[in-house]
Amino acid sequence: MYMATNTHILVPEFDYRRPGSLSEVLALAAEHGDRARLIAGGTDLLVQMKMERDAPSLVISLAGIEELRGIASGDGLTIGAMTTIRDVAGSATVRRQYAALHEACQAFSTVQIMVMGTLGGNLCNASPAADTAPALLVLDARVDLVTGEGGRSVALGDFFTGPGRTVLAGGEVMQSVTLPEPGAGTGSAFLKISRVVADIAQVCAAVRLVRDGDTITDCRIALGSVAPTPLRIGRAEASLTGGNGGLEAFERAARIAAEEIRPISDVRATAAYRRHAAGVIVRDALTTAWRRAGEGGGK
């Protein structure tokens, strides 16, 4: 695939704009619609353009929009869409309160890609293998989308519609990702299996448990690289909620998750391997999240 493509240069021609305000971005995006693409870190878009799978006539840079960057705590957490993966990984608040997201960002590709790539870019690119997506799904994330006409908040579970496809309408821009405050007794975890650490996931999983003594009062399980979109596994969650935590329960939920996913065989792994590995990492992530939930505080 790579040999047929010249990745030395960028063949498609396009116009480039770097607005200094979000309102200018929205005006340009509305005017040019599907002919324009937004560029955040560029680590996905420029590869797609080098492969000539995407050829926008206008590239609009978000680099000049400071209000899209940064992490703000208050009632929960708001992460600007242009915040880099490296900055999310390095946030003490994220590490303490949202362990699954911290671990997903730490496991993300290479340091250079973490420095360049952004949280909003990872979500809007909508790869089924996006590391941050399962973590944000179990943390009940919402994404704030905005046009010149106004904004809307969408549950992340409703955001992805297929590989590379989302509910983002032409001219709509992701502004931020918001996470609710974790309640007492919360624990979360993220695990990923890939050929080497810098590689894209063969399968990844995130879980979140809320623990009251030995009882699981709430639970989320999501996987990546196992279906056309990042996937919540409702039946595995239901098998745990209201029951006691422990290895037996976690193995049962992991078996259900392995049954429910719809993996494919591709260059990275076979479907059978993905199904097996999914069960293993769901079990292990549940075990870790359960321990964290028992250590008190929101995690």
The residue ranges that bind another protein (CB under 8 A) are 2, 6-16, 18, 39, 42-43, 46-47, 50, 59, 61, 63, 109-113, 115-116, 196-198
Closer by beta carbon to another protein, 110 or else 161: 110
**Structure tokens given for 14:** 């396009």
Smallest separation (angstroms) from another protein to the CB of 32: 14
| Greatest Cα pair distance in the chain | 61
Smallest separation (angstroms) from another protein to the CB of 186: 28
Which of 230, 231, 119, 228 is CA-nearest to residue 163?
Answer: 228
* Beta strand spans in the chain (E): 15-17, 36-39, 58-61, 71-74, 76-80, 142-147, 150-155, 160-162, 165-166, 173-179, 186-193, 203-212, 215-224, 231-232
**Cβ–Cβ < 8 Å for 176, 68:** yes
Closer by beta carbon to another protein, 12 or else 163: 12
Smallest separation (angstroms) from another protein to the CB of 86: 8
Q: What whole-number distance in Å separates Cα of residue 272 and Cα of residue 71? A: 39
**Structure tokens given for 291:** 């321990």
Smallest separation (angstroms) from another protein to the CB of 299: 22
Closer by beta carbon to another protein, 58 or else 227: 58
Closer by beta carbon to another protein, 20 or else 242: 20
Please give the backbone phi and psi of residue 105, each rounded to the nearest 5 degrees, phi first: -75, -35
Closer by beta carbon to another protein, 86 or else 232: 86
**Cβ–Cβ < 8 Å for 36, 56:** yes
**Cβ–Cβ < 8 Å for 105, 85:** yes
Closer by beta carbon to another protein, 109 or else 287: 109
Smallest separation (angstroms) from another protein to the CB of 45: 9
Radius of gyration of the chain (CA): 19
Closer by beta carbon to another protein, 3 or else 75: 3
Smallest separation (angstroms) from another protein to the CB of 113: 6
Smallest separation (angstroms) from another protein to the CB of 108: 10
Q: What whole-number distance in Å separates Cα of residue 148 and Cα of residue 136? A: 26
